[in-house]
Structure 1
């Protein structure tokens, strides 16, 4: 009975492999249709990105077809463990690249379809064409996520197989397969989270105005960690919106929108106030949650009654107050952890930042200079850099 159940799990795994290949083939066909559709108004760099994504799909199809062929020859769990061990690095590498390229494709086509929010009307695009592009984009989005969703289900089949093989000589080999599948799922999930964290930095940078020319918010390796719009800075009026990256703290003042006779925060309009690199913080200056001194005179807004933590920038110490002490502690812990990571990596010297290119020559130069970047340019002169 156990052997029959294991064979059933193998058939489920083979079926999943077939579905992965089918979804990748459908995706390649859809990408080809988009590339040939003049309605998208794709520039040469966009076409290059789509071509590269299609090439990644081909590699994945070949890989999964090979895995399926080897799994189909199943003669026991030790054989299956060998198949997974031999394919683990390639699965992680190619699926990680696929996640990166998929994200880039979606960002580009969302903009072409009308902006970051699908459904907005693009200037010079008819409503009917806009709806067609949005519909095509939704269809593409399903195809982009399906292969990884199927691969991340491998561990479900193998988890059941471990139960079926419990107490038998096969259990060790089946469990080895399960552990590989779990590592694969973990790597894909972490890649997705990393992409989202880096995309968030680009989004934040697009909202901040009055940034000094020497400050680069978007840079290689920078990822978003935390944000909160309810900090108060000692001695300063109004709220502060703090963004914690893995190597810096960005301090902004939220814009204000008039509603009736009242002002309300507008997080889509942020004014730059401070930028504090974490690598510059000395061990003796690590932040801690502090309580206000009882004898201190009350400052505007009653800030002296709120707990706070301090960070030092070029101008000196800055005290950031918050009503929620647990929130303060969360920030202090996250900042200290980020500093520890910087120390472990030996990255005391900040990685040089790169400006957004303004010309086709800039784009060509950046394409040569930046390993790990996907650089995109529009026919109308606009250009973008997506950091992954």
Structure 2
């Protein structure tokens, strides 16, 4: 922090780039917009500094993208459809922080169910940050998940980073620690060479597409740029899930996935007939059904908590983030508090409603 003048920090705070946050008896600052050399999601207090998780470039064509960005050897790691959290030990507590630097009440409540060796790990390596993906049909944020997860959620550890610097562990040491502490993790393949192993990597993408997986993240054995690539299946599913909610999302989200899909077919022409058959249905079927019913646009989520206090903290987070929710039902079952709720999307409802009512626009 001493890298910049106090006046710079004050200006950033006044501009909303740095936000004061609390969690129970803890307080810290989080970076809400990129500030100087610090990315969104960086958080800190007088005894802790954790850099935001860096953005990873997405390549559109494997053959040229891998050569352009990656040194070798590198690993190909499953990219899992979920949301990113970082587990950090603060005092006696282990908290889960979201990509934007909020404490996630849900992930903080549930990590111990799936990663029971984490306390031992962080006792031995207290200066590590554990980067995870939370995925599954019973999470409060994401309406897509890997098809092999049928119930509840799971945590997948995909990186270890140093507090302060944010540097990641080299691939072989990461794999060794994942195995030593029996930590659930994404499938990891390799190491690979970008030119010599191109066909092997294509075969991985083919299998992931057939299995309904999202894609791959390519990570060098040592330091260097990382890149990601998603399957045609992932692009098709994104379009199906998001198209009805235009108004809530930038239309650029749609066009980018169409571009990705086109370039998927540039390299994987064997999926052409499947994509042509599926694309129209995925884009229009659910949206058309919702429009015909003239319904309020919403999504239903189901979650389970061990601690009611964390559930109330999630409700407070939704209120702070101005997320409109409606509780459908809640009950205790086998030691967990089960909650089903709707997220209501007024902008999507208005977006389609105005057009159905005959309003026009200049385009």
Interval of TM-score (by shorter of Structure 1 and Structure 2):
under 0.3
Q: Please identify which structure carries the higher strand content.
A: 2
- TM-score normalised by L of structure 1: 0.22
- TM-score normalised by L of structure 2: 0.23
Q: Which of structures 1 and 2 has the bigger CA Rg? A: 1
